[in-house]
Structure 1
Amino acid sequence: MKELTEAEIERLIERFPLPDDRDDGILGLGDTALALGVSLPTMQRYLKIGLPAIKGGSMGRLWRIRLAAAWAWRQALMAERLERKSRGKQTRSALACRIR
């Protein structure tokens, strides 16, 4: 995914809001991973592919990530992957029908 503008992030948050039992907040890398239910290596991979962060971590600086933005971004990523997988199954199904 590409780097998102503030407006795009807000649209994602509207489309994929946090569950009712979660409050929005600014978290570090480990707490965001915990809140999303993913490992630290997965969080680092997400950041490399475009998960929005308020402040990047490096050389002793902590990551600052808005939970609502991270949640919405991840939900959008999962929806995109599911859509791609579904299209692949439809293509394979169509090809199988032609072969018979």
Structure 2
Amino acid sequence: MNELSEAEIEHLIERFPLPDDRADAILGLGDTALALGVSLPTMQRYLKIGLPAIKRGGMGRLWRIRLAAAWAWRQALMAEDAQRKSRRKQARSALACQRR
């Protein structure tokens, strides 16, 4: 995923809202990882591939990440992965049918 505009982030949040038991908040890197149920290395990988951040951290600066945006971005990423896997499975099935 590439860097998203504010409008694209808001669209993702509408499409993939936070669960009812979670309130939106501005969090640091560790708290966002905890809220998403992922490790810090996974969070760092997500940030490298496009997870939106309000304020980028590093070199002594703290990350600031909106939970609703991070949640929606991750849900979209997981949906893309599931769709990609489904297309691969369909392609393999089609190839298997052609070989018979």
> With structure 2 as the length reference, what TM-score do the two structures score?
1.00
Q: How many corresponding residue pairs?
A: 100
- Whole-angstrom distance in 1 between the partners of 2:68 and 2:25: 7
Name 1:46's counterpart in structure 2: 46
% of aligned pairs identical? Answer: 86
Alpha-carbon separation, structure 2, partners of 1:41 and 1:59 = 17
Q: Deviations over 1:17-66 (max 9, x none)?
A: 00000000000000000000000000000000000000000111100000
Structure 2 residue 99 is matched with structure 1 residue 90 = no
- TM-score of the aligned structures, taking structure 1 as reference length: 1.00
Q: How far, CA to CA, are the matches of 2:58 and 2:84 in structure 1?
A: 34
Q: How many angstroms apart in 1 are the aligned matches of 2:47 and 2:41?
A: 10
Question: 1:80, 1:96 → 2: CA distance?
Answer: 24
Matches within 5 A, 1:1-100: 1-100=1-100
Give the gaps of 5 or more residues in structure 2.
Answer: none
Structure 1 runs (4+) greater than 2 angstroms displaced: none
Rounded Cα–Cα distance in structure 1 between residues aligned with 2:30 and 2:59: 16
Q: State the alpha-carbon separation in 2 of the partners of residues 58 and 24 from structure 1.
A: 23
